[in-house]
Structure 1
Amino acid sequence: MSIELDKVADDIYSKVKESLNDDWDTLSNFHKSQGRKLARQAALLAQLKLSGEVPQGDPIFETLIEQFEDAARNFAQAVANLTVLTLQNAWNAIAKTLWGAVNELFSKAGLGNLPVPGLVV
């Protein structure tokens, strides 16, 4: 009875790579799309101000700036959350593969299974 270490290492690598590729595509598409929208909004606000169409201290412009700040903050928070989920998925891929191999060996030896640990952040 033994664990094929090279096979386990290869399985971990392939599952983490697959997980990160999928999650990276999601994160990349989101940040590109939302980043473009924020950039267009910032350009529009700057154009309004530079053209003189909006007088200094105009309450409508101040509201638009506040809305932009909220959108930018929400975007940054969403990217951070997606990044954490990406790391959690990588952890899960590693833990399930490694504990699966260990539990297979333990089961054959009549030792029972170890619970797969969760990610602690």
Structure 2
Amino acid sequence: MKKIKGFGGRSYGPKGESKDLSLASIQKMQEEMAKKVQELEASFGQMEVTATAGGGAVRVTAACDYRILSIEYDDELLQDKEMFNDLIIAAVNEALREIQKRRDEEMAKLVQGGLSL
């Protein structure tokens, strides 16, 4: 049999330094990764983030499954409706950014851990 030299200088062929990845083992790894992703998605409902706006005048707490859990605000804000609305929007948008950041971090941990499968 002929030995084939691949890009990057690594040899492939019958003289077996390459790992044996059968179709069944690849499918098993895919199933395990899909199960871990599903478990992570389910856990996002338990993870919470908090964001503030207006120097803490508005505080939004949200779950990482994109549910707003609470909005707290200083009563003085009720006197300026436009500012109140702007601060709520700012705090909710910050909470959404924090959710995405947290989800990305957790997914990165999963992928890094999955590489050791």
What band does the TM-score fall into relative to the shorter chain? 0.3 to 0.5
TM-score with structure 1 length normalisation? 0.46
Please identify which structure carries the higher helix content. Answer: 1
Please identify which structure carries the higher strand content. Answer: 2
TM-score with structure 2 length normalisation? 0.47
